[in-house]
Amino acid sequence: MDGRAAAPDLELLRAHVAGDRDAFAELFHRHRDRLWAVALRTLGDREEAADALQDALLSAHRAAARFRGDSAVTTWLHRIVVNACLDRIRRRQAHPTVPLPDGNRSEDGSGTGRLEPAAPATDHDTVLVVREALAALPVEQRAALVLVDVQGYPVAEVARILGVAEGTVKSRCARGRARLAVLLGHLRPAAAATSSARPDPTAPGVPGVTPGNPGPVEGVGSRSGRYRRDANQEDT
């Protein structure tokens, strides 16, 4: 077994800082699925998510020497990815554009041809509505809900990733869930009507929404290839 595969995250990061050219690649390979899922769910667009992840990894690669070990390496990586996503959301809100229908397809329905992580499973109409509602939330609430409710991170870990108090995470989640309940309230009557039409009074009620799961990651591409500032540090 390759020694890197069994090495702790911190050891890999230190090896990278010391000049090991393969250590950071191993670190990314170890955590790429969850980092990609966070980026995709936060941005809701594959190209934007791929570029944000690329930007974050460049920043982490260049800022590794400044990592002090005050948190887990994975927490540090997630923080940089989330910050990269939030930066893109804020820029997109400041300079809105009109994307292609699903953000990554050409007119003939084919993909962009870019080397990028696999897409989630095919969306159902309800899932698309849920994603649109999630995208309508304020960025801070969206980030908290993606990490807590979608990715399943503990509140304490999310607080470390976002650099806020646990109570702030709970408050953002509560407000976000309340807004989603309003935005998605129209889904409940339709499901209830379907249930009431069944002859069996014990039939189950409103079905749960399945968000779709990201597939295995094959790689990450970047349209721009540009370098960002090294502002994403451990205490960002």
User: How many angstroms separate the CA atoms of 219 and 116, rounded?
Assistant: 5
pTM more than 0.95: no
67-98 pLDDT, tens per residue? 988 889 999 999 999 999 999 988 887 765 55
Three-state DSSP class for 209?
coil
**Per-residue pLDDT, 217:** 39
134-187 pLDDT, tens per residue? 888 999 999 999 999 988 999 999 999 999 999 999 999 999 999 988 988 877
Q: Show the tokens assigned to 191.
A: 């499901």
**Per-residue pLDDT, 96:** 59
Those residues whose C-beta lies under 8 Å from the C-beta of residue 149, and which sit 6 or more positions away, are 173, 177
User: How many angstroms separate the CA atoms of 32 and 44, rounded?
Assistant: 17
User: How many angstroms separate the CA atoms of 135 and 150, rounded?
Assistant: 13
**Per-residue pLDDT, 106:** 40
Most trustworthy range by pLDDT among 45-49, 169-173, 213-217: 169-173
For tokens 């699925």, the residue is: 33
Backbone angles phi, psi at 134, to 5 degrees: -60, -40
In the chain, DSSP finds a helix count (H) and a strand count (E) of: 10, 0
The answer to which of 20-29, 124-133, 185-194, 201-210 has the lowest mean pLDDT is 201-210
Helix runs in 101-230, H state only = 125-135, 139-145, 155-162, 166-183, 187-196
Distances (CA, A) of 13 to 8, 18, 24, 118, 183: 9, 9, 6, 26, 43
User: How many angstroms separate the CA atoms of 171 and 192, rounded?
Assistant: 30
- Dihedral sign for Cα 145, 219, 232, 229, please: negative
Q: Show the tokens assigned to 201.
A: 């009074």
**Per-residue pLDDT, 232:** 46
